[in-house]
Amino acid sequence: MKLKEFTLPCVVLLLSLLHFSSCTSRYSPSEMDGEDWLRPFRVLVVTGDQWDDPASYVVGKINTGTTEILHPGARKESDFYHIIILLKSWGIPFDIIRLDQQLLDRYMFLDMNGKPEYGTIIWNVNQTDNLMPQDYSILPEMTEQYGIGLIVLSDHIFREEILNTLGLKYTGIREGDTLLKVKGTHFITEGLLSPFRADTGTLVSMMIQRVRLSETDMERQHVAVSDDVITIVEQGSFPQVTVREYPSGGRAVWIGNDNNYIFYFQDMRTLLRRAITWTIGYNLYKTWDNDLIMIMDDPGMADNAWLDTWHFPTLSEDTIIQYLINPLLQHNAVLNINFTPGFVNDAKERLEPTWTRVFTDEFGTKQNYVSSKRGYQKGVDLGVFTVMSHGLTHMQPDLASEPRWYGSPLSGEKAVNGWYQEFRDNRRNQEIPAAEQLWRMKTGMKWLKEQFGVTPLEVVAGGNGVSTTYFNNTIKLAGQAGFGWYGWSGGYLGSDLAVVDWKFFGTPDAPLIVGSPPNNHDYGIALEPEKFASIFDQYPDGRFISINEYIGYMHACNSGNLDRGKKRLDITLDYDPHYCQFFEKHNSVWNLEFSDWLLEESGTVSSVTVDGKKAGKFTGKVEIPRGCGSHRIDIHFRTK
């Protein structure tokens, strides 16, 4: 392992050496009004130019034409994108500030009365010329004087103000594959494996393996620490995670490692979540151990009646009951189904509702959508099917223009796969305009609500045909249409954000997405229905959940305040009736975690009440009764 020739600008290193001293707060907790020490349950993510979308909606790659929207010369990093995925998947509330478009202001962190709006700040500002002029002195003021926590990631320590607040001195960047190990004992690292290991059996682990095989080691920043800084993770003898406390109650954490690989380690992801708990004092979050979302595509579409390579009879009511509903009931499992509510009638050259169709197709196969609907409706009513949207028709909007699909022979245009992709015209190699896509999404949602009595919260484009330019972007439009998740593994959708290309499936940080045997579609069930139940042998300990459950936790609008003076914590959970519809009929269960310093200061948990009713003995989890709208958790502490 050797020192690289390139380092952060020399002037930063010189300033760091000149200012390497311990910073102290202007006030101590005893000098301030007790109300000033309320700890809000909300995180502020501060980033640089890593957010590709200039309109601050889509997180992840988005393009206009064939050109990605990137700042010229910007080094694109993945840590911002991963932070947003993790916070959403954990259900931790947050806001974002982007310094390529915004000027730092004290009132980004404080309310109009000068009280903290956030419990902690995640500083994820990259070194780039694309930032607006900033007053960086605001950041140390928030931690050192107002007691707001600070978590700084990887190499985002290039500012003198950041280094001083962390109590670090930058000494260079080195490459190496030496594993990270826990040093000493600390709340943040309690229970973590040492050394840290990259995720296994995933695309991430394979990518990291390729990095090692190419002899390009991961980058890590090296620092020296001041006397009041504690190193809790190190690489060899070099600090990689450090912590520091201030008399104000503010706590500062630096988490090192290569910014592009930092969260491809389970223990690093857990460490970030524990750092949030430690800097705020408490944390309410969701984890997803052994949870799976099983998906099946295509019921209701017309493709099976027209496309020779995808031809099969619709499933009968009896088949659905025997081979899908009964095994699901036996294993207390849910199957999430992408339905198509609209059917293209070739003879009449028009769109019709799907489930009224009974006919013999041109292949001579009877198609009985009425029988299928009875079976699927039983599964919905029994709670073993979740209704999701596969668009409106699974087919091109324009079937009449040349080359015509309407009236064409089975061996002609009807055999061309491009006709059966709804949100991009792959037959004519052009995108579908935004207004047409949006109408189809909203109409598909409305028809499914009328057909099954529930509003779908997930949408996936049939055949994965999507439009990608900025104004026609299918995923962006799906968020506008009111869906809460895109595709099988596409990502979160909401009025606040759309996140493209989700990560960390099959870990405590996100459920595993699996297809229904034998081939993820009703086509497979039509051919080999008995193979569906094999999924339960593959995952004997798995909990097969509704995707609406996952969406509900991510869309929960939670908030809280810790009153250190009164030794009381109040948390409010707000479940939107649209996105959180799962909770209307189901209880929700959250992890409630307290930092060691809070329990030492406030004492043990003496009582927990939920919606005014006393809960049982506190075990680290809190169960919220069914029902959308607002719920309240009140926690009181008792000094030992």
DSSP 45-103: EEE-S----TTS-EES--EETTEE---TT----SHHHHHHHHHHHHT--EEEEETTT--
Question: Using 50, 70 and 90 to split pLDDT, how confident is the model at 640?
Answer: low
Nearest one of 45, 162, 153, 149 to 97, comparing CA atoms = 45
Residue 347 CA neighbour count, 13 Å, CB half: 6
Residue 12: the pLDDT is 38
User: DSSP letters along 136-172, please?
Assistant: TTHHHHHHHTT--EEEEETT---SHHHHHHHTEEEEE
Question: Using 50, 70 and 90 to split pLDDT, how confident is the model at 19?
Answer: very low
Share of the chain above pLDDT 90, in %: 79
Quote the CA–CA distance of 219 and 50 in Å, as a whole number: 19
**pLDDT higher at 26 or 578:** 578
Share of the chain above pLDDT 70, in %: 89
> Average pLDDT for residues 45-71, to the nearest whole number?
75
Q: State whether residue 285 is helix, strand or coil.
A: strand
Quote the CA–CA distance of 484 and 435 in Å, as a whole number: 19
Interior/surface letters 481-519, b for 16+ CB within 10 angstroms, e for the rest: bbbbbbbbbbbbbbeebbbbebbbbbbbbbbbbbebbbe
Quote the CA–CA distance of 253 and 242 in Å, as a whole number: 6
Question: For the segment 318-361, what is each residue's pLDDT rounded down to a tens digit?
Answer: 999 999 999 999 999 999 999 999 999 999 999 999 999 999 99
Residue 26: the pLDDT is 34
Quote the CA–CA distance of 399 and 392 in Å, as a whole number: 14
Distances (CA, A) of 233 to 198, 268, 293, 539, 596: 16, 10, 34, 34, 18
- Token pair 């780039």 is found at 128
Are 389 and 339 in contact by the 8 Å Cβ rule? The answer is yes
> Average pLDDT for residues 377-401, to the nearest whole number?
97
Name the pairing type of β-strands 94-98 and 43-47: parallel
Residue 77: the pLDDT is 63
Question: For the segment 498-516, what is each residue's pLDDT rounded down to a tens digit?
Answer: 999 899 999 999 999 999 9
Residue 220: the pLDDT is 82
DSSP category for residue 321: I
Quote the CA–CA distance of 415 and 188 in Å, as a whole number: 58
Residue 201: the pLDDT is 59
Residue 149's CB is within 10 A of a number of other CB atoms, namely 27
Residue 565: the pLDDT is 76
Residue 618: the pLDDT is 92
Distances (CA, A) of 479 to 115, 446, 494: 33, 15, 5
Question: For the segment 128-186, what is each residue's pLDDT rounded down to a tens digit?
Answer: 999 999 999 999 999 999 999 999 999 999 899 999 999 999 888 877 778 899 999 99
pLDDT exceeds cutoff 90 at 556: yes
Question: Using 50, 70 and 90 to split pLDDT, how confident is the model at 76?
Answer: low
pLDDT exceeds cutoff 90 at 216: no
pLDDT exceeds cutoff 50 at 69: no
Phi, psi of 583 (to 5 degrees): -75, -10
Question: For the segment 293-303, what is each residue's pLDDT rounded down to a tens digit?
Answer: 999 999 999 88
User: DSSP letters along 370-405, please?
Assistant: HHHHHHHHHHHHHTSEEEEE--SSSS-S--SSSSP-
Structure tokens at 520: 């993820």
What average pLDDT is seen over the chain?
89
Quote the CA–CA distance of 431 and 235 in Å, as a whole number: 49
Q: Output the pTM of the full model.
A: 0.91
Domains within the chain, CATH numbers bracketed:
10-280 (3.40.50.880), 291-551 (3.20.20.370), 557-638 (no CATH)
388: which strand partners? 338
Beta strands in 473-614 (DSSP E): 485-486, 491-492, 498-499, 512-515, 543-544, 557-563, 568-575, 588-594, 604-610, 613-614
pLDDT exceeds cutoff 80 at 248: yes
